[in-house]
Amino acid sequence: MEVATKKAAQTPSSILFRDDANKGFENVRQDSLALPILKLLQNGSGEAQKRNQNYVEVAEPGMFLNTVTKKLYDGDKGINVIPCYHKTEYQEWAEFGTGSGRPENIYPADSDILSKTTKDGARDRLPNGNYILNVHQNYVLIVGDDGHAESALISMSASQSKVAKKWLSLQMSQTMSDEQGTFTPASFAFAYKLTSVLNSGKGNQWYGYNVSLAGDVKNAGLYTRAKDFHNTLEANNK
Mean pLDDT of 202-228: 95
Q: Average pLDDT over the chain, rounded to whole?
A: 89
CATH T-level fold of 76-236: OB fold (Dihydrolipoamide Acetyltransferase, E2P) (2.40.50)
Q: Is 84 exposed, middle or buried (0-12, 13-18, 19+ CB in 10 A)?
A: buried
Euclidean distance between CA atoms 180 and 174, whole angstroms = 17
Q: What is the pLDDT of residue 32?
A: 42
Handedness of CA 158, 49, 193, 81 (dihedral sign): negative
DSSP state of 37: B
Nearest CA among 85, 66, 68 for reference residue 228 = 85
Residue 10's pLDDT band (cuts 50, 70, 90):
low
Domain boundaries, the chain: 76-236
Euclidean distance between CA atoms 47 and 74, whole angstroms = 14
* 76 or 13: which leads in pLDDT: 76
Q: Could you give the C-alpha distances from 83 to 126, 133, 172, 190, 219, in angstroms and in order?
A: 32, 22, 12, 8, 15
Q: Quick check: 209 and 83 in contact, CB under 8 A?
A: no
Q: Evaluate if residue 5 carries a pLDDT over 50.
A: no
Q: What is the pLDDT of residue 85?
A: 97
Write the pLDDT tens digit of every residue in 120-174: 998 999 999 999 999 999 999 999 988 899 999 999 998 899 999 999 999 999 9
Q: Of 10-19, 101-110, 191-200, give the range with the top mean pLDDT.
A: 191-200
Mean pLDDT of 8-18: 61
